[in-house]
Amino acid sequence: MRKVRVLIVDDSATIRGLISATLTRDPEVDVIGEAGDPLEAREAIKALNPDVITLDVEMPKMNGIEFLEKIMRLRPMPVIMVSTLTQAGASITLEALELGAVDCVGKPDFEGLAAKVKVAARARIRSFGEAPRAPVRGGSYNAENTVLAIGSSTGGVEALITMLSSFPKTCPATLITQHMPATFTGSFAARLDRICAPAVKEAANGDPLKPGHIYLAPGGATHLEIQGNVHPRCKLVDAPTVNGHRPSVDVLFHSVARGFGARSVGVILTGMGRDGAQGLKAMRDAGARTLGQDEATSVVYGMPKAAFELGAVERQVSLSSIGPAALDLCETQQRRTV
Please report, for the domain that includes residue 47, its CATH number: 3.40.50.2300
User: Out of 10, 56, 275, 294, which one is annotated catalytic?
Assistant: 275
Q: Which long-range contacts (CB under 8 A, 24 or more apart) does 89-96 make?
A: 89/57, 89/183, 90/181, 90/183, 90/184, 90/186, 90/187, 91/187, 91/191, 92/57, 92/65, 93/57, 93/184, 94/157, 94/184, 94/187, 94/188, 94/191, 95/65, 96/55, 96/57, 96/64, 96/65, 96/68
Residue 44 covered by a domain: yes
- Is 275 designated active site? yes
pLDDT of residue 61: 78
pLDDT of residue 130: 61
Residue 63 sits in which domain range?
Answer: 4-121
State the pLDDT at residue 106.
Answer: 83
pLDDT at 131: 59
Q: Tell me if residue 213 is catalytic.
A: no
Q: Are strands 223-227 and 233-237 parallel, antiparallel or unpaired?
A: antiparallel
Last residue of a domain, one of 71, 104, 121: 121
Q: Residue 328 falls within a domain, yes or no?
A: yes
Structural domain contains residue 296: yes
Distance CA 54, CA 38 (A): 12
Residue tagged active-site, from 153, 166, 255, 264: 153
Number of domains in the chain: 2
On whether residue 131 sits in a domain, the answer given is no
Report yes or no on 214 lying in a domain.
Answer: yes
Same-domain status, 181 and 315: yes
Greatest C-alpha distance within the chain: 64
Q: Look up 140 and say whether it is catalytic.
A: no
Q: Alpha-carbon distance 67 to 225, whole Å?
A: 39
- Which segments in the chain show pLDDT lower than 70? 1, 85-89, 128-132, 139, 337-338
* 178 shares its domain with 64: no
Q: Give the active site residue among 51, 179, 264, 294.
A: 179
Q: Given this model, what pLDDT does residue 129 score? A: 64
